[in-house]
Each structure stands twice: as structure tokens, then as C-alpha cells.
């Protein structure tokens, strides 16, 4: 029996970019749900660029901690809360209600001031001088394409997403996502993924809605709402890019609505579809997930085991040495997702393996050790990741790891030696004691069999009879690696280890482009030393630095660059660097051929020198 399609959540966000409120019902106006995005923060005072025509809109895209602000409605106003600050009680009767200029993206209009107390409170949250603006009872921001006014929302008054669509995302993604990440107003309970894509007109409660267009998603969806920080994995955009992106790389999730009349919508209201339309087409680049059966467990060191798998049906997926395997487990009735680097080699295609070090208190590692036995199955997505070597290169390598960071290194070493690769390979691993050395017999055997392989094992807590290297990786250890500055260096291990190794390497003369470390997503790389640079954008010159992206610095200067996802996926912010140098990380939204023409993505390119850029 198919479950009826009903309204299951009604959400509002009183201030643009802060946390939301769930209601049992809401009055809907043409400008949006009552109390939804009727307030907005804007930079003021010295923090507004002299070149800015209007007060600069403040959102969680630039100030992600905004999502930790929560709100409660009261009959006379709103109460705002933020960790570490006394609550702000904002009463409508105290508003100054002085008309002031405001802007949301390219829309400029008039809004109203609120109170000095609110401005001071939110300035503490943001760390810059801001003012809290109010739309008034009716927003003066009129959208010509809609024919009526809109609140401070990005583009449309109402956003709708179905629960089935979120479930399909979670089925595909390596992480678990919640509806709160997508800041939707209306959530529809439905088992069918993306059922909302087929609707043209619907009625909920008293209100008829027209579906205008799908909602384009940006980096805001990657915010961790608990800590107010962006996910390095760029999830869910990474997953969306494989099955919800159009030909231009723009990512869509949810449908934008406009109300054709005013009225009440309530939880459990039935969704009456008045008119259907064809669904938008997005190429599905995702291969189906596989069920893998555990065929062997192998101890490789103290509290360190390799789990070997074969597909229950079909073939072992293709992958590159160094990539990771997203897996799904049911632990205590809860779906849990993790990514483990493959320790197997694609040169041995019969089986896959992950090597797991038991972590005290670690939920997944302990579950695997205690419960995953030969004959049990897990669900795995396709291997992925950019941490792998270039097959066509002959440059010497340094594979440097600590702890469980050895897993991509053993995969790479197995692959290269299986291929009889002749490049010079230095393999260096650091751990605590002899009992903690993983793959020891195999490593020594590979070194003996291949004259181009050198294996170095270092212990930070060695026994008195240990004859190998001792202590944490230092300049002394580095200097023992022949011509390290000519090598492509791959590093994996605990965060502190990678941070200290990178600093030591770069300081000792290794070119930064030869340094690679395990990371998930488009990582931001910032030079160690702060440097001021001059940025010329479309003829407007302003002072910047080598610490932030071109897009962030342009917006801080009050200038506009076309953009959408702000995460390197869609390519909408592509600019041309006429002179100077920027750091442009690898990203789906830009091809090598674009880089060769001097192009860069403003959302993730960081200036290294004075630059002249054309948007």
C-alpha cells in the first residue's frame, strides 16, 4: 500500500542564515511564510567597503557560525540565543523603523532598522559591526519575474523538499544528512524520491502553490549545524554532483514555490496535485552500491586488522591505489557511514580490503572488530578520492605515514611493485612500538625483492634492542631520505603529524606542488606566511591577502562576481587571471584546459601575488 503524500514539517527561519523553527502550522502570504526571513544582517560602519553601493548582506556562507543562533517566537517579538551570550529579547514595539537601503544579491530595495541592542548583540556573534534589518509587515523587495514582493530569502518565497528525496541522498552519500541542512520551509512525507520534481501546481490546506523552478544548491548545505563549520568532504554537494547536476554543473535539490493565494498550511495536510510536469533531467553518474561479503580477517599488527571482501554479485569495482571505500553499517539499529582507505591493490582485482586500527571508544572500529566476521556482509559505495599517484610519472616518491595512515601507502606500494615500476620509492612509517608495525613481513620482503624500494620504520617508544629509527619524524629523519626535495611526497596520518610534516617539508625546500596529503573534497591550501596582495577585479583595485579566496575578498570589498555553489562544482564563478598568480585547487568545476587558458574559480582560488582578474 502506498502511503499518502502529506505535509510533515513546516519550518521558518526568522533571520536569514540562522537556525530554524518547526511549527505545527503557518499562515502563508505571497511574500512567504509569516515570520520567515523577515530579518537580515548587513555589514555597517567601517566594515562596509567604500566601493559598496548598498549595505553588504551577511550570510552563513561567509560567517558559518550564524547557524548556531537559535530563535523563539513570542507574541511581542523574538528571542535569540547563541552559545556564550545572554539571550536577546527583541520587541517589535522598540524598533526604530527608519528606512534604509538593503540588498539581497542583485536586488536593491528599502528595509527598516530595528534596535541598537540587536545590532550590538549580533555584532558579537559575527565579530564585525552589523545591523539587524527588518522587511516591515510587507517587504518592499519586488521580484519582477514573480509579480509580487519577497522576503529576504535568496530568490523565492517558499522551498519544498520530500522526505523520499532526502532518503535517496542518504542512500548514495558517504555521510548522513538531515533536512535542516537544506533550510526548507515545507517537507512532504513521501516514499518516492523526487516526487516533487513532477509537480506543476499543488494545493496544501487552504493554499494553492505553483512550482516555479528547482532550487540550486550552494556551499551552505555543507555546513555542520552543530559546530558551525563547513565539511571538508563538501558533502552533500559531492554526492549531488553525481546525480543532481545539469550540463553546466549546477546542482539542484528541492523545488521553489510561490503561493497563489493566502491561507493556512498545517502538518498532516494532504498534498493535492492539481497539475503535473515533466521532471528535470540529471545524468546519473552514480554506479549502484554493492553488497560485499567478508571472506577473510588478517591481523597485521597489534589492534590492527585487514578485512578482505569479495562482491556478493558482480565484479570488484575499478579503483586507484590510495582511494577510499565508503561503507554503510547498521550499528544498534542506526545507519552508520564511514570511509576507509583501501589497503588492497587494483593490480590484484579479485578482492578488496580495508585495514582498520581499533580506536578506544571508536564506534565503528570496535564494531568491526567485535561483529564483522567471515560470511557477514556490508554495503559499499564506489571507491573514490584524489589521493593517488600519476601512473604516467617517473618521478621518485616518498610515501610517509603514521598510525593507520599506512593503509593508502601499502596499497600504492603493492600496486607499484606488482607493476614492476622502476621509479625510486622511499617508504617511511612511524608508529609506537614493534608490536604496532603493520605489514612488517611484507614490507621487508618487498624491499628485498625490489632494488628501487627503501623501507624505513621508526618507533616513538622503541625497546632497548630496537636497531631502527627512533623518535618522531624530524629534520634528522628527513635528511636521511635521499634527494627528498625531488620527490613527489604523499603523507597520511593523524592531523598533527601531517601538519608538522608539511611545515618541515616546505621549510626544508620541498616545492608545495610536490606535497600531497589525504583529504576528502576540495581542500583550501593557504600559505603559512600572511602576505598582502593587490587585487584588480574588472578595473577596480583593492587590497587583499593570500589567505582568502578571490570571491570572499571581492565580496568583502563590495564587488560582485557571478557564483552559485561556492564549492568548486558548478563553474559559475569562473574568471580569467590576466596577470599574477593564484592557487587553484583541483575542482570538478574547472578543467585542465581552462587552467591552461589562465582561468580560475573565484570561489576556491587564492591569490599568491598581485593579480589582475576579469570576471
**Three-state DSSP state, 223:** strand
Find the helix or strand (DSSP H, E) in which 33 lies. strand 32-33
Q: What's the Cα-to-Cα distance from 150 to each of 20, 41, 97, 370, rounded to whole Å?
A: 18, 16, 19, 55
Task: Please report the pLDDT score of residue 1 as a whole number.
Answer: 43
d(CA 21, CA 180): 10
Task: Please report the pLDDT score of residue 521 as a whole number.
Answer: 40
pLDDT digits (tens, 9 = 90+) for 129-177: 999 999 999 999 998 788 889 999 998 999 999 999 999 999 888 889 9
Where are the alpha helices (H) located in 463-591, listed in sequence order? 475-479, 495-507, 550-556
Q: How many Cα atoms within 13 Å fall on the side-chain side of residue 167?
A: 12
**Order of strands, edge to edge, in the sheet holding 130-134?**
57-58, 39-43, 130-134, 107-113, 99-104
Contact yes or no for 198/277 (Cβ under 8 A): yes
Q: Report domain 532-614's class.
A: alpha beta
Q: What is the CATH number of domain 290-380?
A: 2.40.30.10
Task: Please report the pLDDT score of residue 522 as a whole number.
Answer: 44
Q: What's the Cα-to-Cα distance from 151 to each of 25, 37, 252, 339, rounded to whole Å?
A: 19, 6, 22, 40
Q: Report domain 397-517's class.
A: alpha beta
C-alpha cell of residue 398: 616518498
Contact yes or no for 407/340 (Cβ under 8 A): yes
Find the helix or strand (DSSP H, E) in which 274 lies. strand 271-276
| Residue boundaries of the structural domains of the chain | 36-140, 290-380, 397-517, 532-614
Task: Please report the pLDDT score of residue 262 as a whole number.
Answer: 97
C-alpha cell of residue 259: 503561493
Task: Please report the pLDDT score of residue 264 as a whole number.
Answer: 98
Find the helix or strand (DSSP H, E) in which 81 lies. strand 77-82
Question: Nearest CA to 265 among 196, 187, 181?
Answer: 187
Task: Please report the pLDDT score of residue 447 as a whole number.
Answer: 97
Task: Please report the pLDDT score of residue 50 as a whole number.
Answer: 53
To the question of pTM greater than 0.75 for the whole model, the response is: no
Q: Where do we find the cell 523520499?
A: 164
Positions of the chain with pLDDT under 50: 1, 520-525, 527
Question: Nearest CA to 478 among 512, 469, 569?
Answer: 469
Amino acid at each position: 500500500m502506498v502511503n499518502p503524500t502529506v505535509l510533515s514539517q513546516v519550518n521558518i527561519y526568522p533571520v536569514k542564515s540562522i537556525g530554524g523553527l518547526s511549527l505545527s502550522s503557518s499562515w502563508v502570504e505571497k511574500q512567504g511564510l509569516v515570520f520567515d526571513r523577515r530579518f537580515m544582517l548587513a555589514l555597517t560602519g567601517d566594515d562596509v567597503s567604500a566601493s559598496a553601493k548598498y549595505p553588504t548582506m551577511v550570510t552563513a556562507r561567509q560567517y558559518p557560525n550564524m547557524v548556531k543562533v537559535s530563535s523563539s517566537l513570542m507574541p511581542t517579538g523574538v528571542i535569540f540565543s547563541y552559545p556564550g551570550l545572554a539571550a536577546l529579547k527583541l520587541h517589535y514595539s522598540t524598533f526604530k523603523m527608519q528606512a534604509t537601503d538593503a540588498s539581497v544579491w542583485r536586488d536593491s530595495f528599502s528595509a527598516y532598522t530595528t534596535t541598537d541592542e540587536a545590532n550590538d548583540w549580533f555584532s558579537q556573534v559575527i565579530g564585525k559591526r552589523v545591523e539587524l534589518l527588518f522587511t516591515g509587515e510587507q517587504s518592499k523587495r519586488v521580484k519582477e519575474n514573480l509579480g509580487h514582493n519577497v522576503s529576504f530569502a535568496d530568490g523565492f518565497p517558499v522551498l519544498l523538499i520530500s522526505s523520499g528525496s532526502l532518503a535517496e541522498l542518504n542512500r548514495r552519500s558517504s555521510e548522513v544528512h538531515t533536512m535542516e541542512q537544506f533550510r526548507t520551509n515545507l517537507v512532504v512525507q513521501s516514499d518516492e524520491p523526487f516526487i516533487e520534481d513532477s509537480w506543476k501546481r499543488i494545493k496544501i490546506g487552504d493554499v494553492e502553490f505553483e512550482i516555479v523552478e528547482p532550487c540550486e544548491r550552494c556551499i551552505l548545505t555543507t555546513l555542520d549545524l552543530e559546530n558551525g563549520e563547513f565539511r571538508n568532504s563538501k558533502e552533500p554537494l559531492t554526492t549531488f554532483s553525481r546525480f543532481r547536476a545539469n550540463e553546466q554543473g549546477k546542482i539542484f535539490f528541492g523545488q521553489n514555490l510561490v503561493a497563489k493565494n493566502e491561507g493556512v498550511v498545517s502538518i498532516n495536510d494532504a498534498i493535492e496535485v492539481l497539475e503535473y510536469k515533466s521532471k528535470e533531467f540529471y545524468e546519473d553518474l552514480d554506479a549502484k552500491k554493492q553488497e560485499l561479503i567478508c571472506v577473510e580477517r588478517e591481523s597485521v599488527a597489534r589492534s590492527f586488522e585487514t578485512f578482505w571482501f569479495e562482491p556478493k554479485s558482480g565484479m570488484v569495482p575499478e579503483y586507484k591505489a590510495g582511494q577510499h571505500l565508503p561503507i554503510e553499517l547498521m550499528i544498534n539499529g542506526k545507519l552508520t557511514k564511514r570511509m576507509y582507505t583501501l589497503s588492497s591493490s587494483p593490480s590484484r582485482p579479485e578482492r578488496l580490503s580495508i585495514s582498520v586500527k581499533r580506536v578506544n571508544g571508536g564506534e565503528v572500529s570496535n564494531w568491526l572488530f567485535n561483529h564483522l566476521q567471515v560470511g557477514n556482509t556490508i554495503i559499499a559505495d564506489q571507491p573514490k578520492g584524489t589521493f593517488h599517484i600519476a601512473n604516467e610519472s617517473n618521478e621518485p616518491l616518498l610515501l610517509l605515514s603514521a598510525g593507520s595512515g599506512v593503509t593508502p601507502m601499502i596499497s600504492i606500494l603493492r600496486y607499484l611493485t606488482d607493476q614492476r615500476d622502476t621509479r625510486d620509492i622511499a617508504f617511511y612509517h612511524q608508529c609506537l612500538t614493534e608490536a604496532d608495525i603493520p605489514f612488517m613481513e611484507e614490507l621487508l620482503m618487498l624491499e628485498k625483492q625490489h632494488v628501487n624500494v627503501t623501507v624505513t620504520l621508526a618507533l616513538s617508544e622503541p625497546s632497548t634492542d630496537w636497531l631502527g629509527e627512533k623518535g618522531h619524524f624530524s629534520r634528522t629523519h628527513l635528511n636521511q631520505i635521499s634527494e627528498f626535495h625531488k620527490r613527489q611526497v604523499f603523507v597520511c596520518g593523524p592531523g598533527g603529524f601531517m601538519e608538522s610534516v608539511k611545515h618541515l617539508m616546505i621549510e626544508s625546500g620541498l616545492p608545495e606542488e610536490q606535497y600531497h596529503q589525504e583529504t576528502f573534497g576540495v581542500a583550501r591550501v593557504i600559505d603559512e606566511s600572511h602576505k598582502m596582495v593587490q587585487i584588480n577585479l574588472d578595473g577596480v583595485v583593492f587590497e587583499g591577502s593570500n589567505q582568502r579566496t578571490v570571491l570572499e575578498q571581492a565580496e568583502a570589498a563590495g564587488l560582485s562576481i557571478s557564483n552559485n555553489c561556492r564549492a568548486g562544482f558548478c563553474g559559475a564563478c569562473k574568471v580569467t587571471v590576466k596577470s599574477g598568480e593564484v592557487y587553484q585547487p583541483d575542482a570538478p568545476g574547472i578543467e585542465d584546459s581552462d587552467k591552461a587558458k589562465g582561468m580560475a574559480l573565484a570561489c576556491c582560488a587564492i591569490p599568491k601575488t598581485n593579480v589582475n582578474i576579469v570576471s
